[in-house]
Amino acid sequence: MNTNLKISNVTKIYPGCVANDNVSLEFNSGKIYALLGENGAGKSTLVKILSGVIIPDEGKIYLNENNLELNSPSDAKKNDIGMVFQHFNLFETLSVFENLIIDSDEERESLREKIDSIMRKYNFSIDLDIPVLNLSAGQKQKVEIIRCLIRNPKVLIMDEPTSVLTEQETSELFLSLKKFSEEGILIIYITHKLKEVMQLCDEVAVMRRGKLVSVSEIKNENIESLANKMVGQNLKTIKKKKVKTSSDQLIKITNLNFTSEDPFETNLMDINFSVNRGECLGIAGISGNGQSELFQVLSGEILSDKNSIEFYKNYIGDLNPQERREYLMAFSPEDRLEQAAIPQMKIFENVALNNFKSSNFFNNGLINENKIKEHSKKIISDFNVNTDNIDLKSQFLSGGNLQKLIIGRELITSPDLLICFNPTWGLDVGAINYIHETLIKINEQNKSIILISTDTDELLKLSDKISVIHKGRLSKIMDSDEVTSEKLGILMGGGN
C-alpha cells in the first residue's frame, strides 16, 4: 500500500529563534527523502515533531489523509512512524533481546521469531543474547532499526545515522535502507553530509534557518548546488598548499601507554609518533577508539611517564596542562561547552582559562581584570568572533563563535604546537571554513598541529601525515597524499 505523509504549515517558535517557519512538505513511499541542512537549520525540530517528541505551535501532520495528533513518542509509534535517533537509546548492560522487547507487549516467543525473521530477511547478524555494550556502533544502530521494524512501520526516520559509522558500515546501512524503501517503507534521511544525499536519496528537501528553501530531485542537483542552497551563499573552496615540511622534530611520543580503571574508557597501547615543525598530523578514527584518552594524555590531563613525551628536547610526560602551556603547547578539546569553556561564565573569564605566565592575567594571586579584558578584545577582533561584548556569558555565543574564541584563546599566545580534537564538530559550513583556514595558516607559520578528528574529509584536507587510531592502537603513519578515504575507512574499521 502506498504511504503518503504530509506536513502542513508547521511552525515551532522557541524564545529568540524560529525553529520551523511555516514548513510544508509531502512524502510518498517508494522513495528515499533527504532532509538536508546545517546545524540549527531546523531539521531536527521537524523530525522531532514527526516523532511526537516536540509539539508544534501551529500546523498539522497527515498520514494517508488522516490528521495525526502526535502528543508523545508513543503516539508516533501507534501511527507507524519509527525513528532512529543520532544517539542510541539502548541499555548498555541489557542483552540485545531485552532491549528489543522492552517497549513491546507481545509474547516473548513470538517476538523472538519475528526478530529472527527480520534479521534473516535483511541479512543482519547480531547475537541476541549478548549485552549491548559488546556491540559495535553499526550493530547498535541495527538493533535500533530492528526495534522500529518490529512494529511494521510505514515511515522510518533516520537522524544523522552515519556520524558514528565506518565507510563499510555506512554502505551496509544504505543497502538496507534501499531494501526497506523497495518494500514500501517511506524513508526520511536527515543529514548534513552532501555526499550521502547524492549516493542514497531520490529527493532532497533543504532547510535553512527554519525555512524550507527547496525541494528537488537528486538527479537535478550536484554537491556544489546543494551546498550553496544549504549555506545560502557561494562557498569558496579552501585547499592547503603542499609545501615541503621541515625535518626539525618538535614532539616525539615514545612507547606511550595508558591503562584506564574506567571500563568505558579505552586503553592506549604502545603509541609512537613524532611531528616536525610546520607539520599537521591527522589522527583519524571512529569515535570511542581512544581519541579522547589520547588527547588527554597529550594535553596533560592524564599524566604519563616523563620520558614518553619529548617536546623540543624537554621531557614533559609528567607535566600538567598549565605547565605544558609554558613550553608553548596549546589545546582545544572536543567538548566546547563542558570542557573548553564554561558557558555560565563571561567571555573574558573564559579567556583567562588559558593562563600563560607572560600574559599576566594574575599578579601575585590577584585577578588582573584589565589585562584579561584587553587580551579578550584582541582575540575577538583577530579571530572574527561575532560579538563586541566581552561581558557576555559565553553560552550566548553560537557554536561557531565559541569555537573561534577557544581557538583564538589558544593561538594568541603563538604556541609551537596546537593539539585539537574535533575542532569543527557541529559547526556550520561558514565557521568550519574559517577554522580550516586558520589551521592552514598556523602550518604556514611553521607551527605544528596534531589534529584528532572523526571527520575524514577534514583530515584529508588539512593533514600532511595521517594515522588511524583503532581500539587504542595507532596505525603506521602515512603520507596524506597516498591515502584515500576508502583506505582510512578500512583502517578505522580495524582492517589492514
Query: Which residues are at the interface with another protein (CB under 8 A)?
Result: 15-16, 299-301, 320-325, 331, 333, 335, 338-342, 344-345, 349, 352-355, 362, 365-367, 393, 396
> If you write DSSP's letter for every residue of 39-98 in order, what string do you get?
TTSSHHHHHHHHTTSS--SEEEEEETTEEE---SHHHHHHTTEEEE-SS----TTSBHHH
Write down the least CB distance from residue 315 to another protein, Å: 18
**Host H or E run for residue 32:** strand 32-36
For another protein, give the closer residue by CB, 53 or 198.
Answer: 53
Write down the least CB distance from residue 43 to another protein, Å: 21
Write down the least CB distance from residue 349 to another protein, Å: 8
- Cα gap 397→226, rounded to integer Å: 27
Write down the least CB distance from residue 353 to another protein, Å: 5
Compute the CA torsion angle 130, 133, 137, 142 (nearest 10 deg).
Answer: 40
| Maximal CA-CA distance, the chain | 76
Q: What Rg value do the Cα atoms of the chain yield, rounded?
A: 24
Task: Give yes or no for a contact between 273 and 281, defined as CB atoms under 8 angstroms apart.
Answer: yes
For another protein, give the closer residue by CB, 335 or 382.
Answer: 335
Write down the least CB distance from residue 313 to another protein, Å: 22
Q: Count Cβ neighbours within 10 Å for each residue of 137-146 and write b for 16 or more, e otherwise.
A: bbbbbbbbbb
**Which grid coordinates are listed for 11?**
511552525
Task: Give yes or no for a contact between 451 and 463, defined as CB atoms under 8 angstroms apart.
Answer: yes
For another protein, give the closer residue by CB, 254 or 339.
Answer: 339
For another protein, give the closer residue by CB, 167 or 301.
Answer: 301
Q: How many CA atoms lie within 13 A of 262 on its CB side?
A: 7
Write down the least CB distance from residue 298 to another protein, Å: 12
Residue 381 CB coordination number (10 Å): 11
> Is the four-CA dihedral 224, 230, 235, 241 of positive or negative sign?
negative
- Cα gap 65→159, rounded to integer Å: 25
Write down the least CB distance from residue 30 to another protein, Å: 38
For another protein, give the closer residue by CB, 13 or 477.
Answer: 13
Strand partners, 467: 283
Work out the angle at residue 489's Cα, subtended by the Cα atoms of residues 173 and 462, and round it to the nearest 5 degrees: 125
For another protein, give the closer residue by CB, 15 or 263.
Answer: 15
Write down the least CB distance from residue 451 to another protein, Å: 18
Task: Report DSSP state, residue 298.
Answer: H
Task: Report DSSP state, residue 192.
Answer: S
Write down the least CB distance from residue 338 to another protein, Å: 6
Strand partners, 135: none
For another protein, give the closer residue by CB, 100 or 309.
Answer: 309
Write down the least CB distance from residue 328 to another protein, Å: 14
Nearest to 407 by CA among 391, 430, 384, 377: 384
